[in-house]
Amino acid sequence: MNHHATDAHTLAAAYALGALDDDERNAFHAHLQACDACRQEAAEFEATAARLAAAVAQPPPAVIKAQVMAAIDGVRQLPPRVPTHAAKPARGGMLRRKAVPLALAASVAAAALGGIAVWQTQNGQDLKAQARRTQQQLDTISTVLAAPDARTVHGRAANGALATVVASDRQNEAVFTAANLPTPGAGKTYQLWLDHDGTMRPAGLIDHDGTVILTGNPADAGAVGLTLEPAGGSPQPTTDPLLLMTLPA
């Protein structure tokens, strides 16, 4: 996975994430018109990014909607616009008029944020710790997807699940995304493996659709495997692989 950063083919992930500046994006967009491989890869990265977002998305607490709606009812509405041919107001007047809708938006936002703050306080330190862990995971996933040397491989497991692995030698990280993954069943879980010259090493657990960061060192791994194991995982695979995806070189 060693490629020059200036190679247009390495920009597919950054393009899909909107991480290119205007000049880079325009140049890569032109490149896409003549490169079928990059068009497919960019589309795959966009689909993967969407699945990643869905995997970590969490609905806000129900109390937030009620608090926002209550705040809206308590905010004075703007008067109707009346056409006028009066002289152009002074700059200070324009600033004050523009500030009115901004103040309205700010008051509603403050109410929502205030409700979130109360909800977070009620849930204590556990919620804050969970938020930090989630943010760290998102940062790692985003870094891998946007890495100049990021490469992706797709596969379908024997149970019908669709899988995507994105790996970066530079970041020494890889992420695994699953879709349509059947429930593993009572007392079972899916386990990921990194194949190092025929030796399968544990790389994490996954029991539903979503994305996980592989544990271990993916740099020297030749493939990523998926098996069905007892809850808690196993030191070595106990079943035949449902999926074995060769990592791109």
Cβ atoms of 243 and 163 closer than 8 Å: yes
- Give whole-number Cα distances, 51 to 9, 172, 209, in Å: 23, 22, 9
For 180-200, the DSSP string reads SPPP--TTEEEEEEEEETTEE
Q: Which residues contact 82 (CB under 8 A, 6 or more apart)?
A: none
Which residue reads 């429930």 in tokens?
183
Of residues 249 and 169, the one with the higher pLDDT is 169
* pLDDT one-digit tens code per residue, 8-25: 767 777 777 777 778 888
User: How much is the pLDDT for 85?
Assistant: 55
Quick check: 115 and 69 in contact, CB under 8 A? Answer: no
Q: What is the pLDDT of residues 223-244, one digit of tens each?
A: 999 999 999 999 999 999 999 9
Question: Tokens representing 108?
Answer: 């509603």
What are 143-200's pLDDT values in tens digits?
A: 888 888 888 888 899 988 888 888 888 888 999 988 888 999 999 999 999 999 889 9
Going from the C-alpha of 10 to that of each of 41, 126, 140, 152, 163, the distances in angstroms are 10, 39, 19, 11, 21
Write down the pLDDT at residue 120.
52
